Amino acid sequence: MGAAGGPFRRSAAPYSLRKGRNVTNENPVVENLLLGVTGSVAVVNITAYLTEFRQRLARHVRVVTTRSAERMMPAESIALYCDEVVSPDSPAARKAAHVGLAQWASLFVVLPASANVMGAAANGLAPSFLTSTLLAAEPGVVFFPNMNTTMWRHPAVSRNVERLRADGHRVVVETRSATEVATGETVDAPVVPPPAEAAAALHGVVEPTGGSDPVARSS
Ligand SMILES: Cc1cc2nc3c(=O)[nH]c(=O)nc-3n(C[C@H](O)[C@H](O)[C@H](O)COP(=O)(O)O)c2cc1C
């Protein structure tokens, strides 16, 4: 869904959609935020995160989607809230631009992070454009997992999280009471924190004591 036709640029949005949106960030914490977006149900809320990040975190925001993510949230919708979306079938992806995109990023975040993408990143696998970009990036990517609690407790997922951390990445885990899509049950599950809290966590990564953090490379 929605992947064909190349990267979607915000400038392509109708004027009436852009007018009045307060997304100008005069004092960004980072220049270039690269946001990987995966096929977790939490992707349906991604526009609220993009609004927050553009207002309080980054001057430029580019999004890399997976096919699963775009089955739940069309690239055309995401594109209204960021500078550019790189879809799996876009020209940028076809030209193998993953290395340049990874180098462009001052801060690389995966939100929401699926078990699948974390597993690939932990094991050096690159079956998609997003996982290729992750493999082209230096350690220091920040993952915000969101998944069913049964998946989260699986030893393979625990192993992958440990491996990501050992490689120098960050995995921000927030456990809250949530109703699971798969079972309809309300249980404690790892979820992406609300937008303001996610932004605050990223501020802490970039400026842990008001100084620099090697996790976030300067642009
Ligand atoms: C409705 C629905 C919701 C899903 N939610 C999650 C989720 O929250 N976390 C997760 O890890 N996988 C979830 N999945 C499974 C992933 O979509 C699946 O593993 C997919 O292959 C992930 O692809 P990606 O990692 O390339 O985005 C969900 C699947 C469906 C159909």
Q: Does domain 26-206 have CATH number 3.40.50.1950?
A: yes
Structure confidence at residue 26 (pLDDT): 63
CA 8 to ligand 1 centroid distance, Å = 23
Eight-state DSSP code of residue 192: P
Average pLDDT, the chain: 85
Residues pairing with 63 in the sheet: 35, 85
Q: Which sequence positions are flagged as catalytic?
A: 98
Distance CA 144, CA 27 (A): 24
Q: How confident is the model at residue 178 (pLDDT cuts 50, 70, 90)?
A: confident
Closest CA to 30 of 209, 212, 167, 198: 212
CA distances from residue 201 to 112, 150, 183, 196 in whole angstroms, order as listed: 14, 25, 29, 9
H or E segment and range at residue 175: strand 175-179
Q: Which residue's alpha carbon is at the smallest distance from atom 14 of ligand 1? A: 40
Residue type, 89: D
- If one residue of 35, 38, 146 were mutated to test the ligand 1 pocket, choosing by the most ligand atoms within 8 A of its CB, it would be 38
pLDDT at 149 exceeding the cut of 70: yes
In the reported structure, the alpha carbon of residue 42 is separated from the centroid of ligand 1 by a whole-number distance in angstroms of 9
Higher pLDDT, 200 or 93: 200
**pLDDT value of position 8:** 43
